[in-house]
A and B are shown apart, each in its own frame.
Chain A
Amino acid sequence: MSIESTGGVPVNAEPVGADIDAPAQVPPNPQKGMFGITGTGDVSGFGGLVRRTPDVVGTPKPYGGYFDEVTDALEEAYPLFADAIEKVVVDRDELTLHVKPERIAEVAQIMRDDESLRFELCSSVSGVDYLNSDARRLHVTYHLTSMTYRRRVRLEVAVPVDGAVPSVTSVYPTADWQERETYDMFGVIFTGHPNLTRILMPDDWEGHPQRKDYPLGGVPVEYKGAEIPPPDQRRVYQ
């Protein structure tokens, strides 16, 4: 194909972005970069924005604000602090304590009961799936609020797939259904939970939908004169 025959515009012999690989089939490549039609041709966004995730590092000691008080009080009240807390991260005015999975119930108990901590309210228990990070890819986050001191803190626990975490329902009864939701959506097993069954999906559902490698599950839709594929399989063609 000479340049003259195409009107002076250089044309690729192969059209770009015309392959049909669904995002779940193509393993996300950390070197790939931003959106665009290079590669799979997926412009729907369901392939996910691929960017380099920096490693989470602990923050050095003076944390600022009430974070120092919280960590000092916890260290005082909990003798196994250095063993149980993996790292302390302060990011964007929020304190996150990364806790070893086996110790989470004890740490939660101390956070609730100790006089200078008094985090009485468990605002939320949820899960995160850090696919392609390392072996412990499922994280469970506990957001605790102190009404007496008006403070918030986050406890984060990392487990591998099908990992087990002790349940905090004995400390915070409100975590009952929240842990059921985390189990249903991510597959994290909470040991000692009074009733660990699926809560959002039907009881006999297979799979854990909010994991990053779970497909979207859409169907193609037929209109008059067109059939539109589900959102994660729509491609741009040249």
Chain B
Amino acid sequence: MGIEEKLPAGILLTSVEMLSNWARKSSFWGATFGLACCAIEMMAAGGPHYDLGRWGMEVFRASPRQADLMIVAGRVSQKMAPVVRQIYDQMPEPRSVISMGVCASSGGMFNNYAIVQGVDHIVPVDIYLPGCPPRPEMLIDAILKMREKVMATPLGPNGRKMLEARKAAGKMPIVAPGAMPSSYRVDKTRRAEWTQAVKEGREEQLRIENWMKLQPHLREK
């Protein structure tokens, strides 16, 4: 696509960037890499109850050449590792990877010679999704965070220059795209709370405090 090189940095590029990113996020085509038990939860997420078709993802093409999101669902054995890499290499840019489940993220419960301790030893991962297996709602949450990240991607070399300029000028958003927990994202006040906490560097503390408020034996009398 030559258009991204030709557009000068500025308002035109920003609009095209937004349009292009919106188009990409609205029709994510997943390449399933359903390896083990997490694949069942991925299938459940694609089924009618936890419908991935709400976000245009009900179709998972088996061919990586037509996919832009690879969900590595399940444990990757030493023998399967070169295959994962080959499928990733066959995906055209722009591509992203969600490592679904603890086995793909870090080896999970299988801390031994046969399982690769985290698929990030093989491919670069954008979103790590813990769980054994993660519920379909958790997978949907990960996909939504991935969409947020995609919306913030720069388009072409000029787009990257604009991003650098924004970084240098300190105009980056306080919370990185895809980094806000969904339980805080849904509510305006909680969103503001989280953003404030990130500014001060105490978001984990805020989480713990809010959790303590819900525990009957920890509430301050």
User: Are B114 and A201 touching (Cβ within 8 A)?
Assistant: yes
CA–CA, A216 and B110, complex, Å: 10
Q: Kindly identify which residue among A200, A205, A218 contacts B111, using a CB–CB cutoff of 8 Å.
A: A218
Residues of B within 8 A of A219 (CB): 107, 111, 117
User: Are B79 and A230 touching (Cβ within 8 A)?
Assistant: no
Q: Smallest distance from the beta carbon of A180 to chain B beta carbons, Å?
A: 13
User: Are A202 and B79 touching (Cβ within 8 A)?
Assistant: yes
List residues of chain A with CB under 8 Å of any chain B CB: 200-202, 205, 209, 214-219, 221, 230-231
Which chain A residue has the least Cβ–Cβ distance from B117? A219
User: Are B78 and A205 touching (Cβ within 8 A)?
Assistant: yes
User: Are B113 and A221 touching (Cβ within 8 A)?
Assistant: no
Q: Smallest distance from the beta carbon of A50 to chain B beta carbons, Å?
A: 21
User: Are B79 and A217 touching (Cβ within 8 A)?
Assistant: no
Which chain B residue has the least Cβ–Cβ distance from A224? B204
CA–CA, A219 and B114, complex, Å: 12
Q: A200-B114, A216-B112 are in contact. List 10 more A-B contacts (CB 8 A).
A: A200-B79, A201-B78, A201-B79, A202-B78, A202-B82, A209-B113, A209-B114, A216-B111, A219-B117, A221-B106
User: Are B111 and A231 touching (Cβ within 8 A)?
Assistant: yes
CA–CA, A198 and B105, complex, Å: 27
Residues of B within 8 A of A200 (CB): 79, 114
Q: Kindly identify which residue among B79, B82, B112 contacts A218, using a CB–CB cutoff of 8 Å.
A: B112
User: Are B79 and A221 touching (Cβ within 8 A)?
Assistant: no
- List B112-146 residues whose CB lies under 8 Å from chain A: 112-114, 117
Of B107, B111, B117, the most chain A CB neighbours within 10 A belong to: B111
Which chain B residue has the least Cβ–Cβ distance from A200? B79
User: Are B113 and A230 touching (Cβ within 8 A)?
Assistant: no
Bin the interface of chain B by size.
10 to 19
Q: Give the dominant DSSP class at A's interface.
A: loop
Q: Kindly identify which residue among A201, A205, A217, A221 contacts B112, using a CB–CB cutoff of 8 Å.
A: A217
Residues of A within 8 A of B111 (CB): 216, 218-219, 221, 230-231
Counting from the closest, the 6 A-B pairs by CB-CB distance are: A217-B113, A218-B111, A202-B79, A230-B111, A217-B112, A216-B112
Residues of B within 8 A of A214 (CB): 113
Q: Smallest distance from the beta carbon of A215 to chain B beta carbons, Å?
A: 8
CA–CA, A217 and B110, complex, Å: 10
Q: Smallest distance from the beta carbon of A62 to chain B beta carbons, Å?
A: 46
CA–CA, A170 and B117, complex, Å: 40
- List B58-105 residues whose CB lies under 8 Å from chain A: 78-79, 82
CA–CA, A219 and B79, complex, Å: 18
CA–CA, A209 and B78, complex, Å: 13
Residues of A within 8 A of B106 (CB): 221
CA–CA, A189 and B113, complex, Å: 22
- Chain B positions 179 through 195: 1 when the CB is less than 8 Å from some CB of chain A, otherwise 0: 00000000000000000
User: Are B79 and A216 touching (Cβ within 8 A)?
Assistant: no
Residues of B within 8 A of A201 (CB): 78-79, 114
Q: Smallest distance from the beta carbon of B129 to chain A beta carbons, Å?
A: 17
Which chain B residue has the least Cβ–Cβ distance from A198? B79
Which chain A residue has the least Cβ–Cβ distance from B106? A221
Q: Smallest distance from the beta carbon of A86 to chain B beta carbons, Å?
A: 34
CA–CA, A216 and B117, complex, Å: 13
Q: Smallest distance from the beta carbon of B202 to chain A beta carbons, Å?
A: 15
Which chain B residue has the least Cβ–Cβ distance from A218? B111
CA–CA, A215 and B113, complex, Å: 8
Q: Smallest distance from the beta carbon of A88 to chain B beta carbons, Å?
A: 37
CA–CA, A209 and B77, complex, Å: 14
Which chain B residue has the least Cβ–Cβ distance from A220? B111
User: Are A216 and B113 touching (Cβ within 8 A)?
Assistant: yes
Residues of B within 8 A of A205 (CB): 78
Residues of A within 8 A of B107 (CB): 219, 221
